[in-house]
Structure 1
């Protein structure tokens, strides 16, 4: 089965508190507050819309957010208050230079092959107007390289049992894992994943090669500088003019 579908939704929703979502949405609101309209800002891989619903309802981005999601179940379960389209990151259903900004959270852009990551970033550059902004969150490569193995088992509030094992390969930059969710009904959902984590310098070269220039790099939601053991790696990049 696909990792990004029912398994992902059921296994991640219990850990996404409203407090965490609010802090992340506040960061995104600040990140795009100076981006003029009226063109929309796209939530790439919006899932059930925890960021998009908040940002579109009030604040500096109210009325400007559109969600993009490939998984039909996520779209069916999305929170109210924002428009969304079903679409693929590798073939964005938008006209060239029609968007003011784009954002993606939790390494959404990097769950594919290296060649596909180049293509996806070029697609984002295609649909952003010159000077448009891309903001995305991932995890510092160094943090994973220092602790490459992970194993997890927990009983969720609905009685489901979540199990996961993963291994990060510092040579390829890939975190490979398998997640299993055993439901109280007896159903068992299992899928594998592969997520690419780039060192910061490599990420910046990737952005430069696909039409972007780095605007800032943060190590967390408070705007702190990047660090190898920071909680986050958040990058803002501008779509180059010309």
Structure 2
């Protein structure tokens, strides 16, 4: 089973509260508040559109947001009010220089091989205009290295049980895990995943090599500095000229 399909949607959706979404949307609105030009901004891996629907409705990105999502179930459950394209991060269905910006949440950009991550960022550089802005959230490498093993079991609201275990290899920067979801109808969904977490210096090098330069780094939604205790690594980058 594909991890980023029904399993991911049904195991994460119950825990994405409206208050958490509102805080993330507020951050994104601030991050794009001074974005120049009239071009669209794409929500990379928009899922059911919890960010895109709000940003499209009001604020500095009102009327400018396009969703991109590969999973058919997520698209069928998406919130109304914003246009969406079904597509793959590795082959963006956008014309060269057509985007003013893009954003991605929850390590969406880094669920592939290192070579594919380079390709994805180059695809973004192709589709974005010069000076365009990229904002993404992931988890600091140091935080995972400090607690490399994780395992939990929790009940889902409305029934069902979620089990997950993972191990982070600091040498490779990969968090490898397996998630199992037992639904109330008796179905059992399970799949493995491997997500790449880069040290900040390596991430900066990756962005520089694909045409981007880091504009800011935050350790949380209030714009606080990144420290070894930060739960988030949020990066704002700009596509350079030339």
TM-score range, shorter chain: over 0.9
Once the two structures are superposed, the pairs formed by residues 6-85 of structure 1 within 5 Å of their partners are 6-85=6-85
Shift of residue 209, structure 1, vs aligned partner: 0.2
Give the match for residue 185 of structure 1: 185
Q: What is the CA–CA distance in structure 2 between the aligned matches of 1:39 and 1:185, rounded to whole Å?
A: 45
Which residues of structure 1 form unaligned runs of 5+?
none
TM-score, normalized by length of structure 1? 0.99
CA contact (8 A) 1:141 1:228 kept: no
Q: Is the 8 A contact 1:40 1:99 kept in 2?
A: yes
* Length, aligned pairs only: 242
Is the contact made by 1:105 and 1:138 (CA closer than 8 Å) also made in structure 2?
yes
Query: What's the secondary structure of 2:234's corresponding residue?
Result: strand
Equivalent position of 2:119 in the other structure? 119
Alignment partners' CA distance in 2, 1:115 and 1:212: 17
Question: Any idea what SS the aligned residue of 2:35 has?
Answer: coil
RMSD of aligned C-alpha atoms? 0.6
Q: Tell me how far apart the structure 2 counterparts of residues 214 and 59 of structure 1 sit (CA, whole Å).
A: 24
Distance in 1 separating the partners of 2:72 and 2:185 = 23
**Corresponding residue of 1:239:** 239
Query: Over residues 142-175 of structure 1, what are the superposed CA-to-partner deviations in whole Å (9 max), with x where a residue is unaligned?
Result: 0000000000101111210000000000010000
Aligned to 2:101: 101
- After superposing the two structures, state which structure 1 stretch, 201-210 or 224-233, moved more: 224-233
Deviation, structure 1 residue 37? 2.9
Partners in 2 of 1:20 and 1:45 — Cα distance?
18
Relative to the length of structure 2, the TM-score reads 0.99
Q: Which segments of structure 1 move beyond 3 Å, counting only runs of 4 or more? A: none
Structure 1 position 203 matched with structure 2 position 203: yes
